[in-house]
Amino acid sequence: MSEASTSLLTTVLFFLLLLSAFFSSSETGMMAINRYRLRHLVKKGHKAALRTSNLLDRPDRLIGVILIGNNFVNILASALATIIAVRLWGEDSGIAIATLGLTVFVLIFGEVTPKTVAAMFPEKVAFPASLVLFPLLKLLYPMVVALNWICGLLLKPFGIRPGEAVQDQLNAEELRTIVTDPGMLLPQKRRGMLLGILDLEKVRVDDIMVPRNEVLGIDIEDDIKDILDQLRDCQHTRVPVFKGDVNNLVGMLHMRKVARLLSEEEVNKAMLLQETTEPYYVPESTPLHTQLFNFQKTKERVALVVDEYGDVMGLVTLEDILEEIVGDFTTDVSDSSQDITPQEDGTYIIDGSASVRDINKILGWSLPTEDARTINGLITEQMEFIPESSVCLKVGIYRLEIMQMQDNRVKSVRMFTADQWKKIRKAKKK
């Protein structure tokens, strides 16, 4: 009789250890599950995800029912282990053996192992567990509510309200971290597009605009023959028309209208001016994401960038902003890549007018872009005076050697990283 009852108690004890493992793994699985993937599955109508989401809406009650079950199982297992150990080894040794043995078994089989598995595979644990926890919460609801009420009273002086669900929110930098995670199942191209969208808030129109000295436009004071030749060779869909200087802007001319005019026998300046439209101006400090919405709102595709005094600084197009998101999609060779000439020793000869942002994108560097737009501007900003040729300077981990000066500006510069500089020095020693 005694042996049979001991065997029965041992079987019950083994079953209680399994229940302890279930409650421990359920707690870890529920808390470790990816909330954003869970929301996605809920939207798709996944039943297990819906049950799990309902349980996680009130984490205080979920934890309450899990801990009630886990503590009840562990305490009952402790009592049974003590009874079994006393019967087998006597009262004096049995209690010590039961305490030590059950501690080891609960830690290994009831806590560490199931929680490790649940942390690695939270969905595979949480979804099946919701089948048990959901009805168990309804069964123990009065006890869980009472327990949460007592806990709420204890936490109230600290300003903590357990009943309030915490909303998971991501800011732009946290979202960027998720997107750049190598474990994301996203192609590199799409990942780059998502990062490009996030970067729109950091970049202003003056960072990507075509600078004023590179804007191709029609000077209405030129000879009409030269103007027509320029229009026939123009590769842009819209060009600014001005008088003498780009600040004296008359309007924007659409090449589709010009094509119709060129079919006429005689074209004069008055006919061209009649086809121009009102120019669209934007401040230099406008963020790209704002300007993208402004283009959409105004149905414009080209904007003239002006500074605080109203002077034209450059020109920005809708295509320029879109290329910041999807990358270059035109068939023309990038002007920025032409400004960078790789050398055999691993260095680069770069034009002084090259954009710092473009260099960072093409070479994968991280030159500062806050205070200067071009390499010439970066050098003068760092040195605080107009340098001479053959001057070298250090910007972060990058080395710059001025190769040529022209009209008080840097014409070309040799650039390389600190690692490349070490390789060059080693090569010279050999």
Query: At residue 72, does pLDDT exceed 90?
Result: yes
Q: What is the mean pLDDT of the chain?
A: 86
pLDDT confidence of residue 184? 62
pLDDT confidence of residue 174? 76
Handedness of CA 362, 367, 372, 377 (dihedral sign): negative
Query: At residue 183, does pLDDT exceed 70?
Result: no
Note the CATH architecture for domain 205-326: Roll (3.10)
Highest mean pLDDT: which of 13-22, 83-92, 331-340?
Answer: 13-22
Where do the domains of the chain lie?
2-158, 205-326, 335-429
At residue 1 the predicted structure's pLDDT band, cuts being 50, 70 and 90, is: very low
DSSP letter at 167 equals P
Percentage helix, strand, coil for the chain under 3-state DSSP, each rounded to 5: 60, 15, 25
Distance CA 411, CA 376 (A): 8
Highest mean pLDDT: which of 296-305, 329-338, 358-367, 400-409?
Answer: 296-305
Three-state DSSP at 384 gives coil
User: Rounded to the nearest 5°, which phi and psi values hold at 298?
Assistant: -90, -5
Give percent of the chain above pLDDT 70.
93
Query: At residue 142, does pLDDT exceed 80?
Result: yes
The whole-model pTM stands at 0.64
Query: At residue 98, does pLDDT exceed 90?
Result: no
For 307-359, the pLDDT digits (tens) are: 999 899 999 999 989 888 887 765 444 456 678 888 888 889 999 888 888 88
Positions of E strands within 181-321:
210-211, 218-219, 238-243, 245-254, 281-283, 302-306, 312-317
Cβ atoms of 306 and 281 within 8 Å: the answer is yes
Residues 6+ apart with CB under 8 A from 125: 25, 26, 28, 29, 117, 118
Angle at 234 between CA 229 and CA 239, to 5 degrees: 110
- Strand-pair category, 281-283 with 302-306: parallel
Distance CA 252, CA 165 (A): 55
Query: At residue 94, does pLDDT exceed 90?
Result: no
For 216-257, the pLDDT digits (tens) are: 899 999 998 888 888 888 888 899 999 988 889 999 998 888
- Strand-pair category, 312-317 with 302-306: antiparallel
pLDDT confidence of residue 265? 63
Give percent of the chain above pLDDT 90.
35
Query: At residue 167, does pLDDT exceed 80?
Result: no
CATH class for the region spanning 335-429: alpha beta
Distance CA 241, CA 312 (A): 13
